[in-house]
Amino acid sequence: MSQPPVIVDVGAGLIKAGFSGEDEPRCIIPTLVGRHKERAVLSGIIGGRDTYVGEQAQSRRGLLAMRSPIEHGVVTNWDDMELLMKHTFNNELQIFPEDHAALITEPPFNSDVSKQKWYEILFESFGFDKVKLVLGQLMSLYASGRTTGIVLDVGDSGANAVPVAEGFVDLHAIQQIGTGGRDLTNHLVRMLTEKGYTLESSGEKQISRDIKEKLCFVSPDFEGQELLPEQKQKHYILPDGVQITLEQELYTIPEILFNPSMIGNEQTGVVDLVKESISKVAMDLRSRMRENIVVCGGSTLFEGFNSRLQTEIKGQQNLYTIKQVKKQGKQSTWYETKKEKLDETKEQREERSLKGAVNVTSCDNPITSAWLGASIMGCTHSFPNEWLRKINF
């Protein structure tokens, strides 16, 4: 087996695949399987083809109902997952699996059933001889050149904070939420519907995703913000030529990551996710964690994400108090809720921020960092002992 190991980072939104030792994946394909909405009518015309995967599905999005086989990090449709892998190995990488080992990323707390299913597909359906499942977030940490730190990965189907010390993952301290980029896209669809633009079909949702990726940003201070003129309004041209104007959607959508209760998810946001995870690691490691917060995943690409995370983890954000202000009209009395900035002395503010150094850094390419870490791992000298062989499965 002289061929390099195949590296696949299986994301809920994007599959990244290529060869160990290379700097970039050979392909990044959407984790989507599309089926004709009007199967009976169209199958005769297009020659009976029923399913499309990856880019083929994207380019026919108007005709297809599209689904991802991964929900909240868990594979929920193995037949579709296998179709996507077949497309990846046969069409994109064009390999004979029996000539390669396969290194595949898995999410934290991947179930034994899911691991078994991956081995079954890779050994039996495709014929790989050696397989290894690795934790995606650990690979991102390696790609950043570290073996100690906490990885905040905000992908398509959720967010994970994974602390690692000297290459060992602290499983008890991992924190997860099921709010990710996909939820932001869906909420933008709702906000746009309220504005009179309907993008609700699974194909049209991809337009909403594009708007989110190109235009939205994280506000430095959502509660008390003052926007620059160019941040107040942005425009997007829909495929039919209609121009949409976006205003508060631009900063409200990414804010969901910091406050998932905005969409009814009773979960902590990314700031508390990191803080809680750090509070669960051994006390003498906490400052090293705070100094090595490594951010990855496509949903951290919003402009302003890192600086907001850094500010809030450091505790430098402005403090507010909520006050009930009594109002007196001619006929009645009522109370109005008012937010007021708390007066804090410069010294108090500095003291609050000096609790320890906080350093947030992004992986060079947050979308492909897990893939890159695995690409490096796959060709290290110690790795040959790590593979699970088909004969031992």
Ligand X SMILES: Nc1ncnc2c1ncn2[C@@H]1O[C@H](COP(=O)(O)OP(=O)(O)OP(=O)(O)O)[C@@H](O)[C@H]1O
Q: Site residues (CB under 5 A) for Mg ion?
A: 11, 155
* Residue 301 Cβ vs ligand X, minimum distance, rounded to whole Å: 4
Chain positions 333 to 352 lying near ligand X, rule: CB under 6 A, are: none
Give the bridge partners for 37, in sequence order.
none
Q: What is the DSSP string of 162-209?
A: EEEETTEE-GGG-EEES--HHHHHHHHHHHHHHTT----STTTHHHHH
Write the binding mask 260 to 299 for ligand X: x where contact by CB under 6 A, - elsewhere. -------------------------------------xxx
Q: Are 52 and 60 in contact (CB under 8 A)?
A: yes
The Cα–Cα gap between 270 and 276 comes to 10
* Residue 99 Cβ vs Mg ion, minimum distance, rounded to whole Å: 27
Full 3-state SS string of 239-259: CCCCEEEECCHHHHHHHHHHC
Q: Is 308 in the site for ligand X (CB under 6 A)?
A: no
Q: Is 213 in the site for ligand X (CB under 6 A)?
A: yes
Write the binding mask 46 to 75 for ligand X: x where contact by CB under 6 A, - elsewhere. ---------------------------x--
Which of ligand X, Mg ion, none does 13 bind, CB closer than 5 to 8 A by kind? Answer: ligand X
* Residue 298 Cβ vs ligand X, minimum distance, rounded to whole Å: 2
Taking the least distance from each CB to ligand X, the nearer of 105 and 268 is: 105
Q: Is 302 in the site for ligand X (CB under 6 A)?
A: yes
Taking the least distance from each CB to ligand X, the nearer of 10 and 376 is: 10
Q: Where are the beta strands (DSSP E) in 20-173?
A: 27-30, 33-36, 51-53, 64-67, 70-71, 74-75, 101-106, 130-135, 149-154, 159-165, 168-169
Three-state SS for 221? Answer: coil
Taking the least distance from each CB to Mg ion, the nearer of 18 and 155 is: 155
Here the tokens at position 150 are 């906490």
Q: Is 157 in the site for ligand X (CB under 6 A)?
A: yes
Q: Is 367 in the site for ligand X (CB under 6 A)?
A: yes
Q: Is 13 in the site for ligand X (CB under 6 A)?
A: yes
Between CA 143 and CA 7, with CA 372 as vertex, the angle to 5 degrees is 140
Which of ligand X, Mg ion, none does 156 bind, CB closer than 5 to 8 A by kind? Answer: ligand X
* Residue 139 Cβ vs Mg ion, minimum distance, rounded to whole Å: 10
Which of Mg ion, ligand X, none does 299 bind, CB closer than 5 to 8 A by kind? Answer: ligand X
Which of ligand X, Mg ion, none does 104 bind, CB closer than 5 to 8 A by kind? Answer: none
The Cα–Cα gap between 344 and 125 comes to 64
Here the tokens at position 159 are 């967010």
C-alpha count within 13 angstroms, C-beta hemisphere, residue 69? 19
The Cα–Cα gap between 5 and 20 comes to 5
* Residue 91 Cβ vs ligand X, minimum distance, rounded to whole Å: 19
Taking the least distance from each CB to ligand X, the nearer of 77 and 353 is: 77
Q: What is the DSSP string of 289-335?
A: HHH-EEEESGGG-SBTHHHHHHHHHHT-SPPEEEEEEEEE-SS-EEE
Name the site residues for ligand X (rule: CB under 6 A): 11-14, 73, 155-158, 180-182, 209, 213, 297-299, 301-302, 367
